[in-house]
Structure formats: structure tokens, C-alpha cells
Structure 1
Amino acid sequence: MKLPLFPLNAHVFPGGKLSLRIFEARYLRMIKERAGKEPCFAMGMLEDREGGAEVLPWATQVRMVDFSQLEDGLLGIVVEGVQWLHIEDITTDDDGLRWADCKPVSIWSEPNHEQDASINSALLSLFGQYPELGKLYPEAAGQSMDWSLQRWLEVLPIDAGNKVSLLNQLNSKPAFEFVNNLLHQGDP
């Protein structure tokens, strides 16, 4: 499938939501042309490298779930992640809008039946501390551990390559161990 590509340092994965400020002409065109279409566009993952940022060959197909005019007059949108994608080729329009040939792939294709309430509990606490993030997830209580792990990977300040590595495992156990270790650092 061919989708417009919005590469960004902020990440959203399937089931996640992200608020965006749209101001560049190429992305305003993308929103205008893709509003109401499914699939809408792909959120690409940028990784900082020496000499600039590089678009990784991974993205999330998103749909727009809300629009608003922000106080500064810019367009605000909220996107929701639908499907994890592998990017196979990127082309660029004259105005700089990129298009990605993508194929859907699974995150954690093998189920992980382990549960740990502390992962979900810590996420709910984070949402309480950052209400602008929490308001995106009124349904956060009662979600699966895999859902919570993906939300943690969206917000943790780790490089995109490490996030990709954790998402492309057979199951969520490595992501669980990573997040669990971070949450319990300094515990006696």
C-alpha cells in the first residue's frame, strides 16, 4: 500500500494516540487530501544520526480521530495508530511530501500471557501526572499489558532503533523486561 509519510521524532504505535500541530504546507496538503480516507497516512520513525535524522524503515498506519484550531491558529489533529508497517520504498513529491510503499506487519505475533499489574498501574499514574496525555486515553484502565507496554515505548525517551528492536520481537517479553527494569531502578 502507498501512503503519505509523516516522519517524526515522537512515536505512536497501534492503539496509541498522538496530538500533532500541523503547519508545514506539505502536511496541510496531506491532511486535506487524506481526511476521511482509510488508511490515512503513515507516521514514520526518525532516528537521530550523525549529520541529521534518518527515516527508519518502520512506521505506523494512523487515522485522524480529532481536529481543532489551536490558540496560535495552527491546525491541531489527534491521530490513532492502527497497524505497524514496514517501509519498502520512499518517493518524494515536488513540495517535499514523502510517500511510502508499505506492507503491514505484526507487533509481537506470538502471545505473551504474562501479566504484571505494576506496568499498567505505573502508566495510569503517568497519565495522572500528565493530564494532556491522560485525556487521550480515557479507556486506559483495564487494558492489556501489551497495550500498556506499547504506550510506555511511545513515551520513553529511548532512541527509535531500540524501540523498533523491542517491537519486532516474537512477543512482548523483552519490552516487559526493559520497561520493568526502568520502573524499578533504585528499588531495594
Structure 2
Amino acid sequence: MRTEEMALLTHDTLLLPEGRLEIRVVDPAYLSIIAEVLKQHYPLVFGVSKANSQPPCYEMATQCEIIDFNQLDDDSLGIVLEGKQRVKILSAAQRRDGVWISRTLACNNWQQEPIIGEFELISAALEQFYEVNPDLFGLYENDIHLEDATWVSQRWLEVLPLYNKDKLRLMNQPNCHKTMNFVLELIKSHASAIS
């Protein structure tokens, strides 16, 4: 198993393979590491922040690519990240400028599988969620896969208001089935509470 050094960005938001997220970068050290990533000096990994921890994130993270960037009104940099590959953070060291460089090991991504039967409800609910959150929907343009159970499950994990440790417990499963069941039960219990 080959490990790889990657520049580490941490945030309180989860990003999974094929997911997209826009973040704001203000810190000059992180602006400089973004430049290094764009020059292909390092691959980039995105981890969920974990307070008072070394490394400063949970061990499961996502290698990602910068697919867009722009200068924001306050002169900070907005970057759009797209998740590519699940990785495990084995260790991390902080450079003098404060940027973290991590040693990672690639993990298996969940395999695509069709949404069938009652699980089509979680796909329809995600579509509605995007309709009321057009900024999030806009990140995907025409790259939405509501027919793929893995894609839909991962998008729900990114947006559900759960504790990160609970999201990561679901993310650490070998496939999307537990997440699909969890989201379906949430939707059903919400629907029965309303009716």
C-alpha cells in the first residue's frame, strides 16, 4: 500500500467523493498552499475539523481537486472543491507557516448502484432540497446523479445536520446501504410527524 503526502485543509463541513463545496480562504499561508496545489506540488485533502486533535481532523478524509476559484467581495479567495477519493489520514505535521501536510492512504470509494423501490423517496427528497437551496444546486450545474444510490447518500451525508462523528460512522461503512436506510427513516419519521 503506497502512502502519499497531501496538503491538508480542514473545515467543519464534510466533503465526499463527487461532492462539491465552496469555501473561503483568507489566511495567507493557506493562500500560498492553494497556489502550491494548483502548481501540482501537492495533492489536496479535505478533512472534517476535530478540536484539540493531532492531526487536526478525523482520520477519514477526501482527496479533492480545485475546480473553480474567484475573488470574493471582501478580497478573500473563494474556491470550489470536488471530492475525488476517500483517504485515511495516517499522520500530519504542521509547517512553520501553519499549514498542515498529511500522510494519507487511499481507501475504497463506495461503488455506484441504482436506487430502487422505496429508496427513490430519498432521491426525490434530495431533488427538493436542491430546489430550495439553489446556491448548493448551482455547484453541480448538470452533474447531478439522482439515479445513483451512492451519489444521493453521500450528498445527504454532506448536508444533514448531524454530529460529524455520526456522519463519519456512516461514511466508514463499506457501502451506502446504512446511510440510505438512515435517511429513509428520517424522511419517513418527518413525514409522519407532519401528517
TM-score by structure 2 length? 0.86
**1:74 shift after superposition:** 1.1
Identify the residue that residue 31 of structure 1 maps to in structure 2: 34
* Letter paired with 2:57: V
Distance 1:112 1:105, change over 3 A: same
Q: Decide which of 137, 141, 148 is 1:144's aligned counterpart.
A: 148
Identify the residue that residue 101 of structure 1 maps to in structure 2: 103
Identify the residue that residue 90 of structure 1 maps to in structure 2: 92
Q: Decide which of 182, 185, 189 is 1:181's aligned counterpart.
A: 185
* Letter paired with 2:135: E
1:78 aligns with 2:85: no
**How many residues are matched?**
185
* Letter paired with 2:156: W
1:158 aligns with 2:185: no
Give the Cα separation in 2 of the matches to 1:185 and 1:5. 38
1:58 aligns with 2:60: yes
Query: Is this contact kept in 2: 1:87–1:100, CA < 8 A?
Result: yes
TM-score by structure 1 length? 0.89
Identify the residue that residue 136 of structure 2 maps to in structure 1: 133
Q: Cα RMSD between the aligned structures?
A: 2.2
Unaligned runs of 5+ in 1: none
**1:144 shift after superposition:** 0.4
Identify the residue that residue 14 of structure 1 maps to in structure 2: 17
Distance 1:30 1:158, change over 3 A: same
Give the Cα separation in 1 of the matches to 2:28 and 2:42. 21
**SS of the residue aligned with 1:117?**
helix
**1:170 shift after superposition:** 2.2
Give the Cα separation in 2 of the matches to 1:71 and 1:77. 13
* Structure 1 or 2: more helix by fraction: 2
% same residue: 29
Bigger drift between 148-157 and 39-48 goes to 39-48
Query: Is this contact kept in 1: 2:64–2:81, CA < 8 A?
Result: yes
Give the Cα separation in 1 of the matches to 2:11 and 2:135. 19
Query: Is this contact kept in 2: 1:20–1:76, CA < 8 A?
Result: yes
Query: Is this contact kept in 1: 2:145–2:152, CA < 8 A?
Result: no
Give the Cα separation in 1 of the matches to 2:85 and 2:30. 21
**SS of the residue aligned with 2:189?**
coil
Give the Cα separation in 1 of the matches to 2:144 and 2:150. 12
Query: Is this contact kept in 2: 1:107–1:168, CA < 8 A?
Result: no
